[in-house]
Each structure stands twice: as structure tokens, then as C-alpha cells.
Structure 1
Amino acid sequence: MVEKDLKWVYDTVLSGPGMDETVKLGFGASRKLILLLAEVIQVSSTIKGNGLLESVDKELIAELFELREDFLEKAKLTKLSNQLKSLI
């Protein structure tokens, strides 16, 4: 698929019925998984050209980063994550 088609698909999926509803999640995850997820969120936010970032509102991206920070804080990994960032 070309980027234009992917953008249309993401736009369609993200604007579907019920996609703005809040979902309460209750789960446990290892610190290793939380750190990996946080890094995936950080790195993937810089990848352009697949249509996803271009289709998502800036508010939703900001919400994703808030969720990332919340995960790191709850897992007590904020300091470690910041230290790892400083190495790059």
C-alpha cells in the first residue's frame, strides 16, 4: 500500500464508532516489558511515512506520551529511562 492509502485506512479505523470510549485496563507487566514498551512508544513516534502518525491527532500523541510516562512512573523506571536516553 502507498502512504496515502495507509493514511486513509488509519483515518477510517481511528474514527470508527466507539473508538473514543475510555477503556479501563487492569493488568500486570514486568518492568522489562514496561521499559521496552516505553522505548517503543518513544522511537516509533519519530518514524514518518507509514501514514499512522499523519493520521493521528496531536492530542492523541500527547496522550500516548502521558501513558508512557505513567507506565514508567508506576514501574519506578523514570530515572532509569532518563539515564538510558542520556547515553544516546
Structure 2
Amino acid sequence: MLSEKEVSLLYETIMSAPGMGDRIKLDIRLPRKNVLLLVKVIEKGLQTRPGEALEGLLEAAGDGSSEALREIGFELLTKGGLSDMYNKLNALQPTGKEK
């Protein structure tokens, strides 16, 4: 098993490989329910706490990666016609420790 430092170094190595910064075009077809799920997964993944494995991955990806992922989520919701629904669903969710 790799240590946390080794995993972080591995992420940094992968993210700095040639071509990793190149823009690509994706043509994907998703059901709207999967768009909602994907956007929620992106949102939750960006809410890392210090010491979590994903924190190292986001740091290795570099500055602006978190914002780029948020923009991808926004674009998915917009293209899927789901922005209003997503916002209303988020308004229904309890905040903090309320459940």
C-alpha cells in the first residue's frame, strides 16, 4: 500500500504527463438523471477536507481545476435544461447537521 505522500506524488506525476493539459472534445449522450447525478458527484468531490485522498488529487491537478469542474457541472445542467430543478433540489436539502 502506498503512503499518502507517495499517492500525492503519483497524482502529480500523472497530471504533469505530456498532453494532460490539452483540451479534448467529448460527445457524450447521458440521460438527464445521470447528468443530475454526475453534477452532484462533482460537487461532493470538490468538498474535500484536509487529509482526504481527493485533496491530493485536486492539488496535483493544479490551480483552476476545481473551478473548471464547477463550470463543467454548470454547463451540463444548462445543456440538459436542469439548472432550475437542480437549484430547487438543493434548496430542499438540509444544511449542516440538520437531518
- Same fold (TM > 0.5): yes
Question: Does 2:31 align with 1:9?
Answer: no
Give TM-score scaled by structure 1 length: 0.90
Superposition map of 1:30-45 within 5 A = 30-45=31-46
Match of 2:73?
A: 68
- Output the amino acid matched with 2:14: V
3-state SS, counterpart of residue 40 of structure 2: helix
Instruction: Tell me the C-alpha RMSD between the 2 structures.
Output: 1.2
In structure 2, runs of 5+ residues without a counterpart are 94-99
Bigger shift: 52-61 or 73-82? 52-61
Q: Deviations over 1:29-76 (max 9, x none)?
A: 100110000000000111231021232223111111101100000001
The structure carrying a bigger helix percent of its residues is 1
Question: Does 2:83 align with 1:78?
Answer: yes
3-state SS, counterpart of residue 14 of structure 2: helix
Higher relative contact order (CA 8 A, sep 6+): 1
Q: Is the 8 A contact 2:58 2:65 kept in 1?
A: no
In the alignment, the residues of structure 2 paired with residue 54 and residue 24 of structure 1 have an alpha-carbon distance, to the nearest angstrom, of 24
In structure 1, runs of 5+ residues without a counterpart are none
Match of 1:59?
A: 64
Identity of aligned residues (%): 33
Aligned length: 88
